[in-house]
């Protein structure tokens, strides 16, 4: 008897979707096409030589340890390095409150596994990070969105959404993906108060916090929580990653949480993959130590800051009147909004003909009953294209928008 696979799959596969961005990116393989679509770091900045030397050193000095099974929690010196960096940012944690994950994407999935039952509600920003929506949709949850404005998520919208009894709040405080906005200090403080008032924990996802190009750094929500409650990670689970400050191919991220919470993350990770590659952790530690990571981040900030300025400047020159955009203080993305009534989905097809790509904004809206995504926005990445491509790509995109407007 042949297998009817459709009747064999779990119900949760109904909620599984392949990332629209990844589908769109398949259309962007043409070498003449300039892509502002992905969230890719600049490959020319990857410290390849340092990785080559560190790999050799690790294998020569600790080869058998680097190739053996290792603890789920992660490589202790690497966890210590992360804890030290978090302490510097005002989050008092020790290394044993940190679990190394295979990118922060795994931390998002583990969050689903540890917290989310079918039918639970997740409060998230509107729009929000597509990878989180994708990971949690598989846990058969509902989403309740709170709009963002130029100061990050709107507190009144969070208050309304909290009335629906969400299990978690998912917040991107710095240079939000996709909106490019930064949550103000006052709103960070309010979120901690609301978390306390409603007893709903905050998942603080902060891949871009170190990549600031202007303005003063703001304390992470977890730092405000620690300050106001005298206890670290009382209301917050903090997610970090090396993807944007070192290299995404490493697949190295982390979760910091209080011990009784982290315990479940560790157990869930054991079931998923036992541990993150110890060889990769040891090599990344070897590269990062002795101040290299800070120097490297400084270099990334200079290059990306320049690219951001170039893109903003080119948009002023090439985008038709009526288009508005965010001027992010850091991160990898900005968010442009076309006049009401325009739709960036057909614009995407027009743009591909002009040989430039972006991501239509509607893909970043979690599905919600009775609420439609905004269709006139787009996300533009400024870290991956070279300066001359940024100028030319924005010129092409301006032309595509003009054609659509006509
Ligand atoms: C907000 C946010 N969270 C998590 C991730 C996942 O990063 P990684 O799995 O590479 O650490 C990304 C990647 O772009 C992101 O933008």
Render pLDDT for 281-328 as a digit per residue (tens, 0 to 9): 999 999 999 999 999 999 999 999 999 999 999 999 999 999 999 999
219 lines ligand 1 (CB under 6 A): no
307 and 286 within one domain: no
Instruction: Confirm or reject: Cβ of 105 under 6 Å from ligand 1.
Output: yes
Same domain, 286 and 349: no
Number of structural domains the chain divides into: 2
Domain assignment present for 58: no
Domain CATH number, residue 387: 3.90.1150.10
In a domain, 249, yes or no: yes
Dump pLDDT digits (tens) for 37-70. Answer: 989 999 999 999 999 999 999 999 999 999 999 9
Can you tell me which atom of ligand 1 is nearest the CA of 105? Answer: 9
The model's pTM: 0.96
Task: Say if ligand 1 is within 6 A of residue 241 CB.
Answer: yes
Residue 256, preceding peptide bond in cis (omega within 30° of 0)? no
Task: With CA atoms as reference, report the closest residue to 130 among 373, 315, 320.
Answer: 373
Final residue before a domain boundary, out of 291, 322, 344: 291
2, part of any domain: no
Phi-psi region of 215 (alpha: psi -120 to 50; beta: other; left: phi over 0): left
The mean per-residue pLDDT over the stretch 63-91 comes to 98
Domain contains 307: yes
Q: Above 70 in pLDDT, residue 27?
A: no
Mean pLDDT of the chain: 95
* Domain final residue pick, 276, 291, 306: 291
- Please check whether residues 24 and 112 belong to one and the same domain: no
Cβ(243) – ligand 1 distance below 6 Å: yes
Q: What is the mean pLDDT of residues 381-394?
A: 96
Please count the CA atoms within 13 angstroms of the CA of 335 that sit on its side-chain side: 28
Domain assignment present for residue 5? The answer is no
The H or E element spanning position 164 is none
Which residues form the domain of 337?
Answer: 10-47+294-405
Domain at 223, CATH number: 3.40.640.10
| Residue 184 CA from chain centroid, whole number | 18
Q: In the prediction, which pLDDT does 30 show? A: 82
């Amino acid at each position: 008897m042949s297998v009817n696979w459709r009747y064999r799959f779990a119900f949760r596969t109904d909620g599984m979707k392949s990332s629209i961005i990844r589908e769109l990116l398949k259309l962007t393989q043409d070498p003449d096409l300039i892509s502002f679509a992905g969230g890719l770091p600049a490959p020319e900045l990857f410290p390849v030589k340092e990785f080559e030397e560190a790999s050799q050193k690790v294998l020569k000095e600790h080869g058998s340890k680097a190739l053996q099974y290792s603890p789920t929690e992660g490589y202790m010196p690497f966890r210590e390095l992360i804890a030290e960096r978090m302490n510097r940012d005002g989050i008092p944690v020790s290394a044993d409150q940190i679990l190394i994950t295979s990118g922060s994407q795994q931390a998002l999935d583990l969050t689903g596994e540890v917290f989310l039952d079918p039918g639970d509600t997740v409060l998230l920003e509107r729009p929000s990070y597509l990878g989180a929506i994708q990971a949690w949709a598989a846990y058969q949850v509902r989403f309740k969105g709170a709009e963002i404005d130029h100061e990050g998520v709107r507190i009144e919208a969070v208050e309304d959404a909290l009335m629906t009894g969400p299990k978690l709040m998912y917040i991107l405080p710095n240079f939000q993906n996709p909106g490019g906005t930064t949550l103000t200090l006052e709103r960070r403080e309010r979120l901690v108060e609301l978390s306390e008032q409603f007893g709903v924990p905050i998942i603080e996802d902060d891949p871009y916090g170190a990549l600031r190009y202007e303005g003063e750094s703001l304390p992470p929500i977890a730092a405000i929580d620690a300050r106001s409650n005298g206890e670290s990670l009382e209301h917050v689970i903090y997610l970090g990653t090396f993807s944007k400050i070192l290299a995404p191919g490493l697949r190295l991220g982390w979760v910091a949480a209080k011990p009784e919470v982290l315990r479940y993350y560790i157990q869930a990770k054991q079931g998923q993959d036992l541990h993150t590659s110890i060889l990769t952790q040891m090599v990344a530690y070897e590269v990062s130590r002795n101040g290299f990571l800070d120097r490297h981040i400084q270099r990334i900030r200079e290059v990306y800051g320049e690219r951001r300025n170039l893109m903003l400047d080119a948009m002023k020159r090439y985008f038709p009147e009526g288009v508005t955009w965010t001027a992010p203080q850091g991160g990898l993305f900005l968010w442009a909004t076309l006049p009401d009534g325009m739709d960036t989905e057909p614009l995407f097809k027009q743009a591909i003909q002009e040989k430039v790509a972006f991501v239509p904004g509607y893909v970043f809206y979690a599905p919600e009953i009775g609420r439609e995504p905004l269709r006139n926005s787009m996300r533009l990445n400024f870290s991956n294209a070279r300066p001359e491509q940024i100028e030319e790509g924005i010129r092409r995109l301006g032309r595509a928008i003009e054609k659509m407007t006509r």
